[in-house]
Amino acid sequence: MSKKEFKSGFVAIIGRPNVGKSTLMNQIIGQKIAIMSDKPQTTRNKIHGVYTSENGQIVFLDTPGIHKPTSKLGDYMSKVAHGTLGEVDAILFLVDVVEGLGGGDRYIIEQLGRVDTPVILVLNKIDRVAPEDLLPVIVQYKDLYNFAEIVPISALQGNNVTTLLEQIVRYLPEGPQYYPADQITDHPEQFVCAELVREKILHMTREEVPHSIAVQIEDMRVEESGLVRISAVIFVERDSQKGIIIGKQGSLLKEIGKQARKDIEALLGSKTFLELWVKVKKDWRNQERVLRDLGFRQD
């Protein structure tokens, strides 16, 4: 294939919280760059994932789930998700076929009516339903919007993801290769490492804690031996949450560090020493200055 036929562009992955957007991103890229959790609104920043093939390069934006905000952090997340729709060459609207059409989906479809971007409906979690149950779901969504394509997949198992990628490339313009073929994200390693720590906290804590935490890498350096030494701070909103994160005699914090270190070592390909601290920043989700300091920017 000649160079002039190479296609490239930017694609947003949108959908209700917890429909599998980060799972799809990681499946396509082949490595964990977006954290996964069964708790909604896990993604807080646009995650740029880069997929490169012989005939094209797709730069994915895994946006926060579109939802009605309840805090300044929630407002930031919602603005990021909505703003992305006008920046891209194509949109993947990911839906959960197990849950079916809901009010959140209708709200998103309403927003899609404001843009001219081609929208591909991606029916996720087909591994969890019988094939004959898909058609009624497809009909429901087709009645509400004129989708460019409709592709059923399983983001978790990888079913039909190759077909989805082929369909996406069809809607991209001819263009340059924006990133080297071996680059999978434009986020700095510190950002991804902080997200991996946050993922473990989401998995290991109770309902009152998950959305009250933020993780910031304060120091990251490589020693002469090749060991990567990382110091990270976990911010919470209340003293009681600090106690929960630390656990009895530091047991939970130790387990968080142990699990996060495994993923970080896989990401970096190096032995890692991870040091975690817990600090209280009262009501940080509603303080714009703190949100900026923690990396929640709209640019």
Which segments are annotated as binding site? Answer: 15-22, 62-66, 124-127
Cβ–Cβ < 8 Å for 68, 150: no
E strands of 28-158, at which residues? 47-52, 56-62, 90-96, 119-124, 149-152
Which residues are within 8 A (CB) of 267 and not within 5 positions of it... i.e. 6 or more apart?
A: 31, 32, 189, 192, 193, 196
Q: What's the first-to-final CA gap in the chain, in angstroms?
A: 36
> In whole angstroms, what is the distance from residue 32 CA to residue 22 CA?
9
* Per-residue tokens: 252: 């939970």
Q: Give exposure, 159-177, as e/b (b: 16+ Cβ within 10 Å).
A: bbbeebbebbbebbeeeee
Cβ–Cβ < 8 Å for 65, 43: yes
> In whole angstroms, what is the distance from residue 206 CA to residue 85 CA?
33
Residue 255 Cα distances to 160, 172, 196, 227, angstroms: 36, 44, 13, 20
How many other C-beta atoms are found inside a 10 Å radius of the C-beta of residue 62?
A: 27
Class of residue 84 by CB neighbours under 10 A (exposed 0-12, middle 13-18, buried 19+): buried
161 Cα distance to chain centroid: 17
Going by the annotation, the residues of the binding site for GTP are 15-22, 62-66, 124-127
Of 236, 252, 218, nearest to 285 (Cα)? 236
Class of residue 245 by CB neighbours under 10 A (exposed 0-12, middle 13-18, buried 19+): buried
